[in-house]
Structure 1
Amino acid sequence: MNVKHKKYVFYFPYLFFILALSSCSSSDHSIKMKGSDTEVNLAVNLAEKYTPLDPSFSIAISGGGSGLGITSLLNGQADIANSSRPLSEKEAAAFKTKNITLKTIIFAEDATAFVVHKDLPISQVDVATLGRIMRGEYKNWSEIIPEVNLPINIYGRQSSSGTHSFVKKKLNIEFANTAKEMTGNAQILEGIKSDKSGIGYVGAGYVSSDINARQGVKVLKIKGPTDSLYYSPLDPVVINQSLYYFQRPLYQFVVADSWEKVKPLIDFEQSEAGRQLIREHGYYIIEN
């Protein structure tokens, strides 16, 4: 058996990662994982750590949004869909129509962070004000911060993103038609780092686990509709007590026909080593 070196391939705008370890590993043992940009870095790291435990392991991982991952499952182009939202009624019906059975894993808790440029003089915002910003009702920061006369530039995700759907639902809004649609967390952060009037949303795990990602931006504290205090998505105590308004479970949907080849990886994710890695990425473990 000829053993190949590990191979990493990245395609912009979506991350695409390949572990190819054995020239004789068949497609029956190869796993395709697609979906949530929120989860993609964690998924890659989990696969890296699992690889030494299974010499026959082969996986391709790509982002692109929760909707893309779910559609890929439906079309037979993936074994696992990472998703930062549950299935919609329409999606569930489509799987039923195609007689595709899914297994659902909730493997972590995430929070969505709202970020602004580090020099913008604001550190917290209530949900009502945030909704008016995101729907485009407030167009200039002077309407919120009197001393700042800058147009508000919104950085968000494409409609296929689970985070896009989650924020839209939590704020009960339609996003402003001027909102920039970015392909992932990294692009949103880079945009805001160079835009003093920008505001956007990213996975809190993405900014909490990467010091470089946090440089140049500020994570806002949020006060929910019934809250008396402002809470940070980077505070584990807050998340563990379910106090942060924009926190949610992270899902993995697995095609039942692929379960046997996927299960060893899922077992690793749920092991203490996997759970520790999840924590290191800034996510939170749901205790049963």
Structure 2
Amino acid sequence: MKFFAILLVTLFCSCSQNNETIKIKGSDTEVNLAVVLAEEFHKVNGDVLVSVSGGGSGLGLASLLNGNADIANSSRSMKQTEFELFKQKKTEIESFVFAQDAIAFVVSDQLTIDSLSTNDIAKILSGKYTNWTSLRQNSKPITIYGRQSNSGTHDYVKSILNIHFSPYAKQMNGNAQIIEAIKADASGIGYVSAGYVLKGNTTGIKVLSIYTGKSNAVSPLNAEAIASGSYFFQRPLFQYFKKNDYKKIKPFLDFEKSTIGAKIIKDSGYYPVNK
């Protein structure tokens, strides 16, 4: 279904050589949301076509750098090394935060655990805890399902927990692959976009509530908690673009900020900014 949606937007872009095309590449966290926004934008802006593809935040920023994208979707802030590459090309970059996302930690619904502390998660992902007996009376080896190193989500989790991932962590291509792996592995743990889970992808899995220290455990599916900033793993979703291209992409950015855009963002399981 995801491939069909991306193909559909791509077909929009090939139907006329006269129409202007905005190319968006990058974060797999943002790709499904961007596809829906592009489809709805095209309905009210028929002269501007939008193509969308994923591949990870790093790929999106590299595509922006080499001229193969007008907007780079990124679920993390741009790294200093990336800024330097644009600086070397004397290219000014600007960014726009169009939504908020929460990271959900998921396990099999067969695992007898409902919440974890951020300290527990850090020890699991770094490989200090290798068996669930470290946390519960459940003697099963822990299998980590994470993202590839070019993923903004991978970088975000690594950075906020200040860890290095276990070398035994399995690198998966995206949310869907992690969810399917967890369903088949009663001792696994993985992290995905809460927006993906909110779209109904919960059969066979359990979304953990997270706490820090002695604070109350908070679910990433709690919209009020996200709005108040009380969930630990929540982050802005960025779109980077070249300053010289602002006039070209402004109609699409304005659409994302509109009431219609905010509704699409919310209905897709993400959180609008200032809406």
Shorter-normalised TM range: over 0.9
Among candidates 212, 218, 226, match of residue 239 of structure 1: 226
Among candidates 135, 140, 156, match of residue 150 of structure 1: 140
Counterparts of 2:227 and 2:15 in 1: how far apart (Å)? 44
Q: Residues 203-218 of structure 1 correspond to what in structure 2 (within 5 A)?
A: 203-208=193-198, 210-211=199-200, 213-218=201-206
What fraction of aligned residue pairs are identical, expressed as a percent? Answer: 47
Counterparts of 1:137 and 1:32 in 2: how far apart (Å)? 42
CA offsets per residue over residues 195-229 of structure 1, 9 Å max, x none? 11110001111111x11x1111111000124x521
The answer to whether residue 255 in structure 2 is matched with residue 268 in structure 1 is yes
Instruction: Please provide the CA RMSD for this pair.
Output: 1.8
Residue 42 of structure 1 aligns with an amino acid whose one-letter code is L
Contact 1:19 1:58 in 2 (8 A): no
Q: How far off is 1:158 after superposition?
A: 0.5
SS at match of 1:10: helix
TM-score, with length taken from structure 1: 0.90
Counterparts of 2:170 and 2:268 in 1: how far apart (Å)? 27
Counterparts of 1:218 and 1:254 in 2: how far apart (Å)? 37
Aligned length: 273
Q: Residues 18-29 of structure 1 correspond to what in structure 2 (within 5 A)?
A: 18-20=10-12, 23-26=15-18, 29=20
CA offsets per residue over residues 243-262 of structure 1, 9 Å max, x none? 11111111001122332221
Among candidates 124, 129, 134, match of residue 138 of structure 1: 129
SS at match of 2:271: coil
The answer to whether residue 167 in structure 2 is matched with residue 177 in structure 1 is yes
The answer to whether residue 176 in structure 2 is matched with residue 186 in structure 1 is yes
Residue 156 of structure 1 aligns with an amino acid whose one-letter code is G
Equivalent in the alignment of 1:109: 100
SS at match of 2:78: coil
CA offsets per residue over residues 40-96 of structure 1, 9 Å max, x none? 110000111111112223222111111110111111111000111111111111111
Contact 1:22 1:56 in 2 (8 A): no
SS at match of 2:97: strand
SS at match of 1:18: helix
Equivalent in the alignment of 1:5: none
Contact 1:9 1:18 in 2 (8 A): no
TM-score, with length taken from structure 2: 0.94
The answer to whether residue 32 in structure 2 is matched with residue 10 in structure 1 is no
Residue 122 of structure 1 aligns with an amino acid whose one-letter code is I
Task: Go from structure 1 to structure 2 and tell me whether the alpha carbon gap of 1:9 and 1:122 turns closer, same or farther (over 3 Å shift).
Answer: closer
Counterparts of 1:84 and 1:9 in 2: how far apart (Å)? 19
Equivalent in the alignment of 1:46: 37
SS at match of 1:188: helix
Equivalent in the alignment of 1:128: 119
SS at match of 1:229: coil
Contact 2:25 2:53 in 1 (8 A): yes
Contact 1:22 1:55 in 2 (8 A): no
Equivalent in the alignment of 2:239: 252
Q: How far off is 1:281 after superposition?
A: 1.3
Task: Go from structure 1 to structure 2 and tell me whether the alpha carbon gap of 1:71 and 1:270 turns closer, same or farther (over 3 Å shift).
Answer: same
Residue 153 of structure 1 aligns with an amino acid whose one-letter code is T
Residue 150 of structure 2 aligns with an amino acid whose one-letter code is S
The answer to whether residue 72 in structure 2 is matched with residue 81 in structure 1 is yes
Task: Go from structure 1 to structure 2 and tell me whether the alpha carbon gap of 1:151 and 1:103 turns closer, same or farther (over 3 Å shift).
Answer: same
Task: Go from structure 1 to structure 2 and tell me whether the alpha carbon gap of 1:79 and 1:241 turns closer, same or farther (over 3 Å shift).
Answer: same
Q: How far off is 1:30 after superposition?
A: 1.2
SS at match of 1:173: coil
The answer to whether residue 219 in structure 2 is matched with residue 219 in structure 1 is no
Q: Which structure 1 segments of 5+ residues have no match?
A: 1-7
Equivalent in the alignment of 2:185: 195
